[in-house]
Amino acid sequence: MTINKDLLGQLRSLGLIAQVSSEPELIEHLAEGSRTVYCGFDPTADSLHIGNLVPLLALRRFQLAGHKPILLVGGATGMIGDPGGRTSERDLKSADVVKAFVAKIREQASRFLDFDCGENSAIVVDNAEWTEKLTVVDFLRDIGKHFSVNAMVQKETVKRRLEDDASGISYTEFSYMILQSYDYTILNERYDCTIQMGGSDQWGNITAGIDLVRRMNGNQAYAITYPLITNSDGTKFGKSMGNAIWIDAQRTSPYSFYQFWRNSADADVIDYLKIFTFFDAAHIDQLAAAHDQDPGARAAHIALAQAVTRLVHGDEGVDAAERISEALFTNQLSQLSASDLGQLAQDGMSASETQSADISLIDVLVDSGLAVTPKGQVTAGQAKKLITSNAVSVNGVKIEDPEHRLKTADALHGCYQVIQKGKKNHHLLIHVVD
RNA sequence: GGAGGGGUUCCCGAGUGGCCAAAGGGAUCAGACUGUAAAUCUGACGCGUAAGCUUCGGUGGUUCGAAUCCACCCCCCUCCA
């Protein structure tokens, strides 16, 4: 494995660098040999979501450049909650939950990272392993003494909470920084890990870790943060229809996943191409030019959707997603054959079956979950509102009558009804009467 | 333990006896326009397909009538010990 000597410059050109510590030294450090870099992930759910993709793909870039990535699962720190994560303190995760998460993250990350390539294979570790053994006395005597409260209070994440009249900060959360610093120290000691990467909100915690590594191990360590991804309109990245976009195909179908990227705002699409794909600079420039010239053609958006979906769900995922998209958005439903329609359900389009040959549209909207209120509940009242506000079509035809009933006689090929809410939400209802 | 401030519908935040399902903003959903984009404009936004029902930290009370007044309790914040 040869070392890419300009990794940092490359990451910066991709917009992946917010801050770095001791930059000139770090550049040299990275150029001199294979290094070990770590990034922490909190076990907040049993799947990764696309927000996690940013550090994961950045780690991959490190690995491709010849370095060794460590994924640290916060089995211990995840129980506490980073004060930067605001409001409520987190639930305690049981050992089983964390263990399941470790397995899951390894499985999901293995699509991007190589866990079996010799020297610089990626590894997964859980900080509960060493944090749980820590006694209060050891913690205070060996670790805590290296931290100046004066300095900790100055950290942005802590300061904000101290100044916030409404919430304050508990001692537990205040200690988060110390535990994260200790993680760095342990990884430095065991794996010669010298680089920690995290979101820019982690800067304070990471630099605190650098200090601790120097004090306890006498080693020089480094920090790299990436900017937190936001949408250009200021909304939170990685949500669609109020739901997180998951890596797990069971939670977010390849079709929905594909659609998420394809619907990116124009102002964001080039940034996303840089961060979430491995296209080279020339290709991205070319897509940017194509987009400027004819935004309506969606060349950049489609390339983005294809590339990221392929990365996460493979060629099959892309094929399925495009097959469904093609069918639904060209509005030529009537030209689809029965097997085409059957395939859509197979491919991950939302679908359900009914025994009834004659069923009320409102019931179907409720059963399919399309009739969600802005608050997230599914109600018949919402279904009625949607119909009255002209938001629902069946098989491509707007329905304005709340009492409308779906009958097999009107179904495509005698059994398929494509229910559409708004522009982008579809459901396939299949009559299974004989 | 003491003193003070505060808890309103997803969030912020008005409201101090009826006109309050509760202003305004944000978020969200839908419609129009477009390019499956953004911006903009329009509608919806406690539950109930309706009659109606249930909300303003909790419980009890005053009142014809309470988010608003009283009592007690719980929780949060700041300062003091």
Q: CA–C1' distance A180–B61 (Å)? A: 53
What whole-number distance in Å separates Cα of residue A318 and Cα of residue A309? 6
At A234 the pLDDT is 67
A233 touches strand B (CB under 7 A): yes
Q: What is the ipTM of this complex?
A: 0.84
A332 touches strand B (CB under 7 A): no
Between A42-46, A118-122, A339-343, the lowest mean confidence (pLDDT) is in A42-46
Whether the pLDDT of residue A388 is over 50: the answer is yes
Query: Among candidates A274, A237, A228, which has minimal Cα distance to A15?
Result: A274
Q: CA–C1' distance A171–B3 (Å)? A: 24
Please measure the distance between the N-terminal and C-terminal CA atoms of chain A and give it in whole angstroms.
Answer: 62
Q: CA–C1' distance A146–B41 (Å)? A: 59
Comparing every residue's Cα with the C1' atom of nucleotide B45, the nearest one is: A374
- Distances in Å between the Cα of A185 and the Cα atoms of A188, A193, A200, A206, A219 are 5, 9, 20, 11, 9
Whether the pLDDT of residue A86 is over 60: the answer is no
Q: CA–C1' distance A424–B41 (Å)? A: 21
Nucleotide nearest A322, from its CA to each C1':
B36
Model confidence pLDDT, tens digit, residues A17-28: 999 999 999 999
- Tell me what the pLDDT averaged over chain A comes to: 87
At A72 the pLDDT is 94
Q: CA–C1' distance A254–B18 (Å)? A: 56
A403 touches strand B (CB under 7 A): yes
Are residues A101 and A72 in contact, defined by beta-carbon separation less than 8 angstroms?
Answer: no
Q: CA–C1' distance A165–B14 (Å)? A: 20
Give me the mean pLDDT over the A218-245 stretch: 81
Are residues A229 and A54 in contact, defined by beta-carbon separation less than 8 angstroms?
Answer: yes
Nucleotides in chain B near protein beta carbons (<7 Å): 10, 12, 27-32, 34-39, 43-50, 76-78
Q: CA–C1' distance A85–B11 (Å)? A: 16
Nucleic chain B contacts, protein chain A, residues 29-58, CB cut-off 7 A: none
Burial degree of A371 (CB within 10 A; 0-12, 13-18, 19+): buried
Between A78-87, A89-98, A173-182, the lowest mean confidence (pLDDT) is in A78-87
Nucleic chain B contacts, protein chain A, residues 166-205, CB cut-off 7 A: 166-168, 170
Whether the pLDDT of residue A85 is over 50: the answer is no
Q: CA–C1' distance A335–B10 (Å)? A: 42
Q: Looking at this protein, which amino acid is placed at residue A421? A: K
Number of H helices, E strands in chain A: 18, 15
Contacts of A139 (CB under 8 A, 6+ apart): A178
Sort strands A19-20 and A222-226 into parallel, antiparallel or unpaired: antiparallel
Give me the mean pLDDT over the A324-343 stretch: 83
A325 touches strand B (CB under 7 A): yes
Q: Which helix (H) or strand (E) holds A240?
A: strand A239-240
Q: CA–C1' distance A422–B28 (Å)? A: 14
Nucleic chain B contacts, protein chain A, residues 110-169, CB cut-off 7 A: 162, 165-168
* Burial letters A310-330, b for 16+ CB under 10 A, else e: bbbbeeebbebbbbbbebbee
Give me the mean pLDDT over the A107-122 stretch: 90
Give me the mean pLDDT over the A72-86 stretch: 67
Q: CA–C1' distance A185–B75 (Å)? A: 39
pLDDT range class, residue A90, cuts 50, 70, 90: very low
Using DSSP, state whether A118 is helix, strand or coil.
helix
Query: Among candidates A110, A104, A78, A103, which has minimal Cα distance to A92?
Result: A78
Are residues A66 and A3 in contact, defined by beta-carbon separation less than 8 angstroms?
Answer: yes
Q: CA–C1' distance A375–B24 (Å)? A: 20
Nucleotide nearest A267, from its CA to each C1':
B38
Whether the pLDDT of residue A1 is over 70: the answer is no
Nucleic chain B contacts, protein chain A, residues 333-392, CB cut-off 7 A: 360, 362-363, 372-375, 377, 379-382, 384-386, 389-391
Model confidence pLDDT, tens digit, residues A128-186: 889 888 998 999 999 999 998 888 888 877 777 776 655 677 787 788 889 999 999 99
Q: Which helix (H) or strand (E) holds A196?
A: strand A193-199
Give me the mean pLDDT over the A98-126 stretch: 88
Q: CA–C1' distance A167–B5 (Å)? A: 13
Query: Among candidates A45, A43, A40, which has minimal Cα distance to A250?
Result: A45
A296 touches strand B (CB under 7 A): yes
